[in-house]
Amino acid sequence: MRAPFAYKPRRGPLQDASPGAAVAYLGSIVVVAFLYLNPLVLLAAGAAATLAGILAGARAAVRSAMKMALSLALLIAFVNALVTSRGETVIARLGDWPLFGRVDVTLEAIVAGVSYGLLAAATIVAFAVYSACVDPDRVLRTLRPLAGRSALTATLVSRLVPVAAADAARLRDAAALRGPAAAPVGKAPLARRLLAGSLDRAVDVAATLELRGYSLDAPRARNRRSRSRYDRRFYAVAALVLATAIAGKILGADDFQAYPTVAIGFGPATLAVATVVTLSGFAPFRRAVKRRPLQASRRPEVARV
């Protein structure tokens, strides 16, 4: 079974774009999420990442990321509500808790938690889309001339992750198949065994890299497909998103205050930033090529004699 975030070769603007353009585009969405606390802008960033993933054909990755992100967002909101007693609108007084002290759940703490949760969610979805759509081989190829050792480590790790996942699945099966009178296998011995096996696997993968000539100091060749016709589009969208986000920040688009009472700005600047960020999600859109239907040849008449 493949991991939903695993890269799958497909044809599409985001997949065809050079790693630099794809990283710039998805990175700009993440930057917006980190620059803003306004939930509307954060929602827009999440929507942009989701749209980008769907248009790029990475529905499975987006779906899995959404599940993970929403769980995390809810957890953050829940924890923030418990640990922060600031805010004037008390929803529930839960009394004194060990470690927490007096727990008052306030609307402001919940909204602030939701805001942090949205930040995390937008980031997770953007990274999931990156993982599913950007070819790691091309990223590593770009990285190799700049940082050979880092690229080697990244290659080793990127290959070891699926190998270790397969090993872990096999070990789990073997543990399930042990007879009831065999010593039970806890998580610790299993993890130890997996680690020991991973070291052996790492040696095998490293040997393969060695055989492929990874340690050679040969002149690095120019890469094919280093640029794509979609690069300009993604760089332009990234620049537009960043410029709008920075301008919006300066103009007060990040108008959000959680404490002592919630105040969310919906002014023109905020709406403009949210609109631009949301629309940036359409960047991986590809217009379907219209094919002219072939003219059906006329059926020959049956000759009657």
Partner 1 sequence: MSELAIRRGAAPALAVRGLDYSYPRASKPALVDVSLEIAPGEFVLLAGRSASGKSTLLKAACGLVPHFHGGEIEGEVRVADLDALPAGPGELAAAVGYLAQDPETQVVSTTVAAEIELPLEMRGDAPTDRARAVEEVALALAIPHLLDRAVDTLSGGELQRVALAAALVTRPRLILLDEPTSQLDPVAGDELIWLLRRLNEEWGVAVLLAEHRLERCLAAADRVVAMEDGGIAFDGPPRDFLRWSHDNDAALTTPAARLFSLAGLESLPVGVRDARQTLRGTGIGHPPHIASRRVPDPRPFEPVLETKNLWVELDRGEEMRDVLRGIDLEVRPGERIALMGRNGAGKSTLLRTAAGLHEPVAGKLSLDSIALLTQNPSDYLVRERVGDELPGDVGLAVLRVVGLEHAVDADPRDLSGGERQRLALAIALAGRMEGEQLPAVVALDEPTRGMDRARKDDLVALIRSLAGGGVAFVDKETTKATRPAAVVVATHDVEFASAFAERVVLLGEGVVIADGPMEEILSGGWYFATEVARVLDAPGVVTPEQGAALLRGELG
Interface stretch with partner 1, choices 116-124, 182-190, 233-241, 267-275 (CB under 8 A): 182-190
86, 93, 102, 170: residue in contact with partner 1 (rule CB under 8 A): 170
Report the residue from 98, 99, 146, 177 that binds partner 1 according to the rule CB under 8 A: 177
CA-based Rg of the chain, rounded to a whole angstrom? 26
User: To which H or E segment does residue 28 belong?
Assistant: helix 19-35
The helix-helix angle for 268-280 and 39-55 (nearest 10°) equals 20
Tokens of 28: 């700009």
Q: How many residues bind partner 1 (CB under 8 A)?
A: 59
Of the residues 147, 153, 204, 232, which one makes contact with partner 1 according to CB under 8 A: 204
Instruction: Establish if 95 lies at the interface with partner 1 (CB under 8 A).
Output: no
Please name which of 243, 241, 262, 264 lies closest in space to residue 254, comparing C-alpha atoms: 264
63 binds partner 1 (CB under 8 A): no
Query: In this structure, what are the phi and psi dihedrals at residue 104, rounded to the nearest 5 degrees?
Result: -115, 120
Backbone angles phi and psi of 92, in degrees to 5:
-150, 140
Stretch that binds partner 1, among 115-123, 211-219, 230-238, 239-247 (CB under 8 A): 211-219
- Contacting residue, 99, 182, 288, 303, with partner 1 by CB under 8 A: 182
- Contact residue for partner 1 among 103, 136, 164, 265 (CB under 8 A): 136
Can residue 279 be called a binding residue for partner 1 (CB under 8 A)? no
The residue from 145, 162, 252, 267 that contacts partner 1 (CB under 8 A) is: 162
Select from 237, 251, 267 the least CA-distant residue to 55. 237
Residues β-bridged to residue 90: 106
Report in angstroms how near the CB of residue 140 gets to partner 1 at its nearest: 8
Applying CB under 8 A, does 302 fall inside the site for partner 1?
no
Q: Does 143 bind partner 1 (CB under 8 A)?
A: no
| 189 makes contact with partner 1 (CB under 8 A) | yes
Decide if residue 2 touches partner 1 (CB under 8 A): yes
Interface pick for partner 1 out of 95, 96, 98, 222 (rule CB under 8 A): 222
Least spacing, CB of residue 150 vs partner 1, in Å:
15
- Least separation, in Å, of the C-beta of 11 and partner 1? 9
Residue among 290, 240, 256 at smallest CA distance from 32 = 240
CA torsion 129-130-132-133 (nearest 10°) is 100
Write the CA distances from 76 to 70, 113, 264, integer angstroms.
10, 6, 19
Residue nearer to partner 1 on the CB measure, 60 or 242: 60
Instruction: Give 242's Cβ-side CA count (13 Å radius).
Output: 13
Omega before 260 cis (within 30°)?
yes
Closest-CA residue to 24 (of 119, 134, 128): 134
Residue reference for tokens 């060990």:
98
Q: Which stretch binds partner 1 (CB under 8 A): 62-70, 203-211, 243-251, 289-297?
A: 203-211
Beta strand spans in 187-299 (E) = 256-257, 263-264
Least distance in angstroms from the C-beta of 7 to partner 1: 5
Contacting residues toward partner 1, per CB under 8 A: 1-2, 6-9, 60, 135-138, 141, 155-156, 158-159, 162-163, 166, 170-171, 173-183, 185, 189-190, 192-193, 197, 201, 204-216, 218-224
